[in-house]
Amino acid sequence: MSENTWSAIEKTVAQEAFKKAYERETNDLIDQLSEKIKGVDNIDAVWEIHDYLSAKRHQIDGRYYLTMQKYLGQENDYSALVFLFADLLKEKWLLREDLSGLSPDKISKISALSYL
């Protein structure tokens, strides 16, 4: 399959990879939050947690929810996933083996972008 054509299998691989990254990143956020809360003994530390959650929410909304809407919507634009997967690989929410099943040219492109 070429870069802009996604087979049914590739779509499934992409959806699974997407789901795994989402689970990892949100579970990590829950862990981080539980950890951050431990040392909190003043209100400024509470507002720091609030700022942290605001930033993460903004990031996760943009990264996952908007992409999910695309999936479920009419667009079905899988090509944009290449860029998202590169980011997720770079930040280690995705592992290289999660992409196994995608065509070599897609994996190459995702890998190359992940080094930027």
Give residues in contact with its own copies (CB under 8 A). Answer: 26, 29-30, 33-34, 37, 40-43, 46-47, 49-50, 53-54, 57, 60
Rounded to whole angstroms, the Cα distance separating 112 from 106 reads: 10
Q: What is the DSSP code (8-state) at residue 74?
A: S
Kindly state the tokens that stand for 2: 């070429």
In the bound state with its own copies, the residue whose beta carbon lies nearer, of 34 and 74, is 34
Sign of the four-CA dihedral 11, 15, 16, 20: positive
Closest approach, Cβ 62 to its own copies, in A, equals 14
Give the type of residue at 3.
E
DSSP-derived 3-state class of residue 5: coil
Closest approach, Cβ 29 to its own copies, in A, equals 6
In the bound state with its own copies, the residue whose beta carbon lies nearer, of 47 and 83, is 47
In the bound state with its own copies, the residue whose beta carbon lies nearer, of 2 and 42, is 42
Closest approach, Cβ 34 to its own copies, in A, equals 6
DSSP-derived 3-state class of residue 28: helix
Residue 81 half-sphere exposure, CB side, CA atoms within 13 Å? 30
Closest approach, Cβ 50 to its own copies, in A, equals 4
In the bound state with its own copies, the residue whose beta carbon lies nearer, of 47 and 77, is 47
